[in-house]
């Protein structure tokens, strides 16, 4: 069941919270609006295939979870038996090129981008370490996850890492 739905002109976020504390603490429409505006500009730019595919909206599911769940997912899908801050599960391989995406069929006006899992406890610890608010750290992790949903992967190469970091900084700092 969706606990919270944040809807902008072109992006639909469904927020689920399976961690203790629940309620999507820290993810409000007011807080997310600047990030969503910047993500919309990015998604409908010539850099990505969203507009040519005929999508009116993109849909992302955000799952706030605890350490146990994120560790299980990390082990199951990445073969890493450790806790992490954020995991992304893209529906499409790479939305930057038509290569690998020829089979995308628009069956509805919404294009499902994928799921992002954020560990609340790790986000809280990282916020304290970086001297920022918990909400800002959630925004950072969400931006990082969205970049992965688009096909960027900082672990692929140094060039890709630099490109991903610049894009992440654009989304975060222009959203503040």
The enclosing domain of 110 has a CATH number of 3.40.390.30
> Mean pLDDT across the stretch 154-171?
72
Q: Domains in the chain: how many in total?
A: 1
User: Would you state the pLDDT for residue 119?
Assistant: 95
Sequence-separated contacts (24+) of 164-167 with Cβ below 8 Å:
167/42
Residue-level length of the chain: 176
Range of the domain at 145: 4-173
Highest mean pLDDT among 52-61, 122-131, 147-156: 122-131
Model-level pTM?
Answer: 0.82
> Mean pLDDT across the stretch 90-115?
69
Residues 6+ apart with CB under 8 A from 75: 81, 82
Half-sphere exposure in the Cβ direction for 23 (13 Å, CA): 3
Q: How far is CA 38 from the centre of its chain?
A: 13
Percent pLDDT > 90 in the chain is 30
User: Would you state the pLDDT for residue 122?
Assistant: 96
Mean pLDDT lowest for which of 28-32, 47-51, 69-73, 121-125? 47-51
| 64 contacts 17 by C-beta, under 8 angstroms | yes
């Amino acid at each position: 069941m969706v606990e919270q739905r944040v809807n902008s002109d072109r992006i639909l976020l469904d927020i689920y919270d399976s961690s203790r504390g629940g309620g999507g603490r820290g993810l409000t429409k007011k807080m997310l609006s600047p990030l969503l505006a910047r993500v919309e500009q990015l998604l409908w730019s010539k850099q990505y295939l969203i507009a040519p595919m005929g999508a009116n909206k993109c849909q992302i599911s955000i799952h706030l979870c605890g350490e146990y769940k994120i560790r299980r997912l990390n082990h199951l899908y990445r073969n890493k038996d450790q806790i992490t801050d954020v995991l992304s599960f893209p529906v499409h391989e790479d939305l930057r090129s038509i290569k690998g995406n020829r089979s995308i069929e628009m069956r509805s006006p919404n294009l499902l981008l994928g799921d992002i899992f954020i560990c609340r406890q790790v986000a809280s610890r990282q916020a304290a370490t970086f001297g920022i608010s918990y909400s800002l750290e959630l925004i950072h992790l969400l931006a990082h996850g969205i970049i992965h949903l688009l096909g960027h992967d900082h672990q692929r190469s140094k060039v890709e890492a630099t490109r991903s970091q610049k894009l992440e900084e654009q989304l975060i700092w222009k959203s503040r």
